[in-house]
Amino acid sequence: MARQSIRRRWRWLAVITGVLAVIVLVWLGRPVLHLVFTAVRDAASRPSTPPPGYLDDASRLNRTRIAEVWSMPAGVSDVETELAALLAHARAEGRRVSIAGARHTMGGHTLYSGGLVINMLPWNQMELDEKRDVLKVQAGALWRDVIRYLDARGRSVAVMQSNNSFTVGGSISVNCHGWQHGWPPIASTVESFRIMLADGRVLRCSRQENAELFSLALGGYGLFGVILDVELRVVPNRRYRLEQRVLPLKEALELFEEGLRNRPGLEMVYARMSIVPGHLFEGVIINAFYHDPNGEIPALGAPWAPRLRRLVFRGSERSAYGKKLRWSLETRVEPLLRGKIFSRNQLLNEGVEVFQNRSEDTTDILHEYFVPHRHALAFIQDVRRIVEEHGADLLNVTVRDVREDKDTFLRYATEDMVAFVMLFLQERTEEGERAMASLTRDLIDAALAHEGRYYLPYRLHATREQFLRAYPQATEFFRLKRKYDPEELFQNMFYLKYGRAQVGG
């Protein structure tokens, strides 16, 4: 009797263990299979590079035949004389010149068909003035080199993008911004720069000296001359403590607008919205980084788990399940694994390659919209409707705080703004291009309806009318471009679409 009861108990135990094992397998099996499948697909993707004589940009939709790439000759004593001679020669031949940093713009802002491209990348020396906390840096330097250099000297970049793969010259020429909380865009950190104009003259520009050109070339998309070197204000590298919250949309935007605005010690904020289909934008992860003076600043190291994060991210494309999985992992698992203490430089030091699309068939296209805080909720509700109507594959939305820009002419932050950065997956086909153009125009209309603007470094899908509504100062901007560059030596696709058509305007 007793033996029978023991046997029965064992049988029950076996059944329960079996059921639990099946539950665990199903629970873990689907995500594991999903990630393995993504890894196999990702490993097979190898994008082709443009053939000799052609260049493209980060969109991988702008393959352009160019006449020549001229690289700034590093280590040569008289580079400026060489560059001036090159520009004179191009003028004499009637050739157009475009300027390229890391070419992470997406609208041909570095390209002109049949033109000469100046490659700034080798021009990358830097020196810190420790007394003034000012970095003098050549325009081709990449942020990843700047961060390494500053880290060794206890300093950090004041304002830059969320990745380290861009050049200083390209960053100030679009007037970038990042998730440094409470800062205007990067122009606010520029003390001065030197620029070579089309006629070979080199001018120093600051708020006091050649002030008009200072405000035009910052955010000037390479249309005024070659920015040679820049004096950038830097800040201390610090130890930060992360406080993470996941909030419903309305609460998150209220916290962004009021709760976090002037909170003591808060230095960086990174917020990401849920992109789970059917629950678009319902939740927002807010990562707030506070200065924590109680301890050592962690040493600069490699990015955290780049391979795994890439798989989780790429696994979200064209997959509702992948998007859900990513949201669960990023809200529940990552905070447990990643820790809470970071250095500022570590947070800034991640390259775009961690998430970059490598597929031949698709590409990732960025959009960014700036709207005043008072319209943020209404705007993002419009975005939800538009994205759903278009059936667009939205891969990411981050939210940032950008303060009023008082420095640049073609400014987007005309007052304190909330920035919504969106990443969409696009087919590399004509149909994909048409669909993206139509989506972009609808989103721009929504931003304009809420007193907002769109960001200019991405695809050139805005109509001229939309462009002028967003940037009414553009007519004067292009008139001044022709004042400084009367022969229109410096040109690119952005100028062709929105600038040159307005001659006489």
Which residues of the chain form contacts with ligand FAD (CB under 6 A)? 58, 98-105, 109-110, 120, 139, 161-163, 166-167, 169-171, 173-174, 176-178, 221-222, 226-227, 352, 366, 457, 492
Distance CA 88, CA 490 (A): 12
- Which C-beta is closer to ligand FAD: that of 90 or that of 297? 90
Assigned token pair, 4: 């029978």
- Which C-beta is closer to ligand FAD: that of 102 or that of 470? 102
CB-CB neighbours of 454 under 10 Å: 23
- Which C-beta is closer to ligand FAD: that of 162 or that of 319? 162
- Which C-beta is closer to ligand FAD: that of 31 or that of 182? 182
CB of residue 36 to ligand FAD, shortest distance in Å: 26
- Which C-beta is closer to ligand FAD: that of 105 or that of 362? 105
Collapsed DSSP state (helix, strand, coil) of residue 128? strand
Phi then psi dihedrals of residue 319, to 5 deg: -145, 115
CB of residue 427 to ligand FAD, shortest distance in Å: 18
Phi then psi dihedrals of residue 477, to 5 deg: -55, -45
| Angle at alpha carbon of residue 19, lines to 18 and 23, rounded to 5° | 115
How far CA 171 is from CA of 161, 176, 221, in Å, comes to 8, 5, 10
- Which C-beta is closer to ligand FAD: that of 237 or that of 398? 398
Return the closest-CA partner of residue 483 out of 87, 199, 202. 199
Return the closest-CA partner of residue 242 out of 275, 273, 285, 282. 285
Residues 6+ apart with CB under 8 A from 2: none
CA dihedral 308, 161, 402, 210 (to 10 degrees): 180
CB of residue 228 to ligand FAD, shortest distance in Å: 7
CB of residue 119 to ligand FAD, shortest distance in Å: 9
- Which C-beta is closer to ligand FAD: that of 115 or that of 222? 222
Residues 6+ apart with CB under 8 A from 84: 196, 200
CB of residue 425 to ligand FAD, shortest distance in Å: 13
CB of residue 145 to ligand FAD, shortest distance in Å: 12
What is the number of the residue whose Cβ is closest to ligand FAD? 170
CB of residue 49 to ligand FAD, shortest distance in Å: 17
